[in-house]
A = this chain, B = another copy of it.
Amino acid sequence: MLKVREEAIVQAVNRLLAEKGFDAMTVDEVAAKVGIAKASLYKHFPSKEDLAAAAMVRVMRRAQEFFGSLPAEASPLDNLRAAVRWTMALKLAGDMPSLPSQNSSLRATLMANKEYMDGLIDVSDRLGAWIEAAQADGSISRAFPAIAVLYTLYARACDPVLEFLQMGGQHSDAEIIDLVLGTCFDGLNAR
């Protein structure tokens, strides 16, 4: 019962974080969306920052589940592309929470959250291993440090190009994903 209620809270937080971002989201909105009083929220989560952290933990878990669903025979590059596709689909669906990278109290709460940090490290390790394997087999360029490739992939989760193209209304979500995946892996230059 408690778990169900808290899942509903975190889901509402997730949507609001995706829609408006952390700063613009208010705790009153979260309470209204869940349909409970604000004070009740604070019985479940001690602060707004912890609400956001719970949403991040949730999305990290979903990423790990997605990784588990990937076919074993896929190449490292296939896995990287699939991961980026999954991330962009989440964002286009309005389910990718977005946090400001500069907010320090939020950063502190996140980095103190063991579940989030463990998930982040696990996800980064898996992506990192695929990146190095893909560079070893020659599918990803060796000109870039693996960490730069990792950051570039992570950045697709908050790429404004996605929402701009979506707002334009000229392309379906699937087309947008293909487009941005193309610019990301193939580059803007003609091949």
CB < 8 Å: which of B21, B101, B138, B159 contacts A155?
Answer: B159
CB pair A189 B148 closer than 8 Å: no
- Confirm or deny: A123 has a beta carbon within 8 angstroms of a beta carbon on chain B: no
Interface size bracket, A side: 35 or more
Contact present for B149 and A188 (CB under 8 Å): yes
- Residues on the B chain within 8 Å of A158, using CB: 160
Interface string of A98-139 (1 = CB under 8 A from B): 001111000000000000000000000000000000000011
CA distance A165 to B151 in the complex (A): 8
Judge if A183 is at the interface, Cβ distance under 8 Å. Answer: yes
**1/0 contact string of A136-164 vs chain B (CB within 8 Å):** 00111111110111011011001111011
The docked-state distance in angstroms from the alpha carbon of A188 to that of B184 is 6
Give the shortest distance, in Å, between A157 (CB) and chain B (any CB): 10
